[in-house]
């Protein structure tokens, strides 16, 4: 997910420009989409300056552009729709080191639904869901170690073994190690293909993910 993280960092960097940040804060505080003229007037900016920064925010996915006729008129003579801006539905999250609490949340929620419907234990359902998720990642193809890198595990060669220097679910694992470590183990086992040359085992170590890769 390096490309996604880089894009998120770039989007957030856009807000470092003071005028752009003021425009963003203004737009998201409004209940309805705003026009360039409204934003420029509210912040006492030249219209061209407001337009430039609003379009930059939209390009980076922080704002969404919509077109509406403010007069309410339609048909011939109604005029061109106005270009308006509102908060984007796109979610931007950056964490260093990389965390994937959204993945854990989806897996946990899906497992609870499965357990409620089937009567099985939530933990069994969670481990199955995690393995399926890992298999989905593995089906993308390519080097399994690169896939683990892309998903925040930071694999590192340690002799014949591979240590995972980062846990994407760190805070959850710290508070619920038994549950989350077995979830992570199932996910990594699902990701590894038969010809990967490695098997995943639990081996909690300070400062590392609780999963380690050992050669077949």
The pLDDT tens digits for 142-184 are 899 999 999 999 999 999 999 999 999 999 999 999 999 999 9
Q: Is residue 18 part of a domain?
A: yes
How many domains does the structure of the chain reveal? 2
Beta carbons of 36 and 45 less than 8 angstroms apart? no
The pLDDT tens digits for 10-27 are 777 888 899 999 999 999
Whether residue 78 sits in one domain with residue 106? no
Give the separation between CA 124 and CA 64, rounded to whole angstroms: 41
Q: Is residue 204 part of a domain?
A: yes
Residue labelled with tokens 């050992």 = 214
What is the pLDDT at residue 121? 96
Whether residue 206 sits in one domain with residue 113? yes
Using the predicted structure, report yes or no on whether residue 29 has a pLDDT greater than 80.
Answer: yes
The pLDDT tens digits for 30-84 are 999 999 999 999 999 999 999 999 999 999 889 999 998 866 555 555 567 889 9
Whether residue 63 sits in one domain with residue 33? yes
Tokens encoding 126: 């969670």
What domain range includes position 144? 101-215
Whether residue 131 sits in one domain with residue 76? no
Whether residue 121 sits in one domain with residue 18? no
State the CB neighbour count (10 A cutoff) for residue 37: 12
Tokens encoding 150: 């892309």
Whether residue 204 sits in one domain with residue 121? yes
Whether residue 76 sits in one domain with residue 105? no
Beta carbons of 84 and 103 less than 8 angstroms apart? no
């Amino acid at each position: 997910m390096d490309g996604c993280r880089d894009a998120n960092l770039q989007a957030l960097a856009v807000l470092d420009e003071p005028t752009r940040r003021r425009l963003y804060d203004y737009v998201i505080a409004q209940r309805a989409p705003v026009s360039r003229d409204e934003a420029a007037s509210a912040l006492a900016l030249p219209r061209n300056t407001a337009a430039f920064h609003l379009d930059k925010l939209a390009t980076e996915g922080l704002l969404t552009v919509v077109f509406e006729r403010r007069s309410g008129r339609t048909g011939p003579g109604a005029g061109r729709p106005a270009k308006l801006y509102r908060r984007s539905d796109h979610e931007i999250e950056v964490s260093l080191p990389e965390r994937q609490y959204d993945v854990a949340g989806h897996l946990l929620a899906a497992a609870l639904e499965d357990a409620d419907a089937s009567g099985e234990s939530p933990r069994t359902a969670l481990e199955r869901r995690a393995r399926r998720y890992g298999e989905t990642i593995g089906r993308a193809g390519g080097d399994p170690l690169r896939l683990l890198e892309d998903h925040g595990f930071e694999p590192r060669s340690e002799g014949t073994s591979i240590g995972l220097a980062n846990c994407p679910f760190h805070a959850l694992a710290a508070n619920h190690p038994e549950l989350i470590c077995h979830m992570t183990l199932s996910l990594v086992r699902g990701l590894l293909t038969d010809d990967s040359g490695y098997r995943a085992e639990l081996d909690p170590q300070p400062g590392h993910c609780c999963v380690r890769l050992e050669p077949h």
